[in-house]
């Protein structure tokens, strides 16, 4: 089915381990985004990508790495997980951001990550 899917849905990892969260969309949307959601902070942008091989930092990029070799995939890697990265992570996509800049974002259902 067309849409945006995130995997895994739940992940428990240990401090210091590397973990990759996957995001795949079938719409061929140019823009993709990673957000994290924490109690008391709401949704915050980690990284975004305007197209394949083009990525840029958002509000809270430290400790995260992204890549986008294909339009449809936008994995998020925590190179050395810390407890402060325990959160719910949401991936989103949207079509080209041309005028009038009103293309909605489509979100996945999230990955709940716990770092012990």
Partner 1 sequence: DAKTTQPNSMESNEEEPVHLPCNHSTISGTDYIHWYRQLPSQGPEYVIHGLTSNVNNRMASLAIAEDRKSSTLILHRATLRDAAVYYCILRSESGGGADGLTFGKGTHLIIQP
Q: What tokens were used for 88?
A: 């719910």
How far apart, in whole angstroms, are the C-alpha atoms of residue 66 and residue 42? 21
Q: Is 110 in the site for partner 1 (CB under 8 A)?
A: yes
Determine the interface stretch with partner 1 among 20-28, 35-43, 65-73, 78-86 (rule: CB under 8 A).
35-43
Say if CB 49 and CB 59 are below 8 A apart.
Answer: no
Q: Is 83 in the site for partner 1 (CB under 8 A)?
A: no
Q: What tokens were used for 17?
A: 């381990």
Smallest gap from Cβ 90 to partner 1, in A, equals 5
Interface with partner 1 (CB under 8 A): 31, 33, 35, 42-45, 48, 50, 56-59, 90, 92, 97, 99-102, 104-110
């Amino acid at each position: 089915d067309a849409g945006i899917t995130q995997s895994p849905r739940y992940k428990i990892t240990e401090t210091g381990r590397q973990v990759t969260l996957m995001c795949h969309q079938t719409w061929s949307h140019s823009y993709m985004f990673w957000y994290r959601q924490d109690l008391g902070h709401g949704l915050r942008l980690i990284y975004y990508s305007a197209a394949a091989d083009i990525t840029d930092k958002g509000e809270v990029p430290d400790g995260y790495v992204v890549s986008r070799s294909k339009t449809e995939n936008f994995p998020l890697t925590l190179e050395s997980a810390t407890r402060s990265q325990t959160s719910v992570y949401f991936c989103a996509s949207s079509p080209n951001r041309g005028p009038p800049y009103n293309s909605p974002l489509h979100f996945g259902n999230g990955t709940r990550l716990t770092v012990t």
